[in-house]
Amino acid sequence: MTEPTGTSKDDQEPTGGKQSSAEASGAATEEQRTRGGEPPREGEVEQSADGAADTSPEGGTRLAPTRERRGMFGVRGTGDTSGFGGLTLPGYAPAPAERPYGGWFDELADELADALDRNGIARSAVRQITIDRGEITFYVERERILELCRLLRDEPALRFELCSSVSGVDYTAPDGAEVRQPLHVVYQLLSMTHRRRIRLEVALDVADPHVPSVVEVYPTADWHERETWDMFGVIFDGHPALTRILMPDDWEGHPQRKDYPLGGIPVEYKGAEIPPPDERRAYS
């Protein structure tokens, strides 16, 4: 239970980094559970408790953890005789970073907080800051993503002039366990002036997959957003022509959603029948 990652049980943990997610995430989930188990509803603003909120743009609702994993081997539907089938590994929620962030992260967070104030954008636009494996992620309120991108591009101290990539992630649990706001849109931004990379992330409900388009700030996001619509069904409001890009125009469904089957047929190899990949036993 204390080892949510379980990479290596008897070897040394390779996740020894200072801001490592592994232990912190367990703590965050724990924290949320002790708070009454009721995850905060959408729109309800939960202010961050620590005093660092003065200089940090961070504030707002915390992120929901992803799926719980059960059993040491993650085997479902077969006779797991190991006795470890009852283990429950808590879901992973990215842990909020604590000051000092280290490196240029502090400077960037301060500049962003100043810029938000100057432009009259509430600091709660940034829900959470996470630093993991040397990369900084800003979890953003979806209504603010366009303003925030414009700010990040135009402010001289920030100057993220290149949008490397926009894509989706579907955190829906394969076993149907409930995950709040499982649909994420991820923006990778690059500042060539300051040689920095950051990631913006927006969490969405599957029932309401709308997000403002950033094409007017980053024209390169055009195809990226079309691909994210095509693959994940995220609707980018304000996109000039949100049509499918990789799948045929008349395709139904969004293939990279977790509830969309991979497909495939069983194949025979040396007399044995091998099931298609999504029906094979998974160990996770």
Partner 1 sequence: MSTDPYAEARETTEGTVYTVTGGDWDSLLDSVSTDEHDDRIVINMGPQHPSTHGVLRLVLELEGETVTQARSVIGYLHTGIEKNCEYRNWTQGVTFVTRMDYLAPLFNEAAYCLGVEKLLEVEAPRRAQLIRVLLMEINRIGSHLVCLATGGMELGALTGMTAGFREREEVLHLLEYLTGLRMNHAYIRPGGLAQDLPEDWKEKVTDFVKVMKSRLPDYDKLLTGQPIWKQRLEGVGYLPVDGCLALGATGPILRSAGLPWDQRKIEPYSCYEEFDFEVPTATEADCYARYRLRVAEIHESIRIIEQAVQKIEPGPVMVEDRKIAWPAQLSIGSDGMGNSLEHVRKIMGQSMESLIHHFKLVTEGFHVPPGQVYSCVESPRGELGYHLVSDGGTRPVRVHVRDPSFVNLQTMPAMSEGGMVADVIAAVASIDPVMGGVDR
Is 192 near partner 1 (CB under 8 A)?
A: yes
Cross-strand bridge partners of residue 197:
190
Among 52, 123, 154, 188, binds partner 1 (CB under 8 A): 188
Among 101, 105, 218, 229, binds partner 1 (CB under 8 A): 218
Ranges of beta strands (E only) in the chain are: 69-70, 88-89, 126-132, 135-140, 162-170, 183-191, 196-204, 210-212, 235-237, 267-269, 272-274
Nearest alpha-carbon partner for 204 in 232, 178, 181? 181
Is 103 near partner 1 (CB under 8 A)?
A: no
Among 51, 77, 120, 248, binds partner 1 (CB under 8 A): 248
Contact 160, 186 (CB under 8 A): no
In degrees and rounded to multiples of 5, residue 132 shows phi and psi of -145, 130
What does the block give as tokens for 196? 């920095």
Is 197 near partner 1 (CB under 8 A)?
A: yes
Among 22, 125, 202, 234, binds partner 1 (CB under 8 A): 22
Is 8 near partner 1 (CB under 8 A)?
A: yes
Contact 202, 145 (CB under 8 A): yes
Among 167, 194, 206, 235, binds partner 1 (CB under 8 A): 167
Q: Residues interacting with partner 1, by CB under 8 A?
A: 4-8, 11, 14-17, 20-22, 25, 66-67, 69, 73-74, 89, 91-92, 94, 132-135, 137, 161-165, 167-171, 186, 188, 192, 195, 197, 199, 218-220, 222-224, 231, 244-248, 255-256, 262, 277-278, 280, 282-284
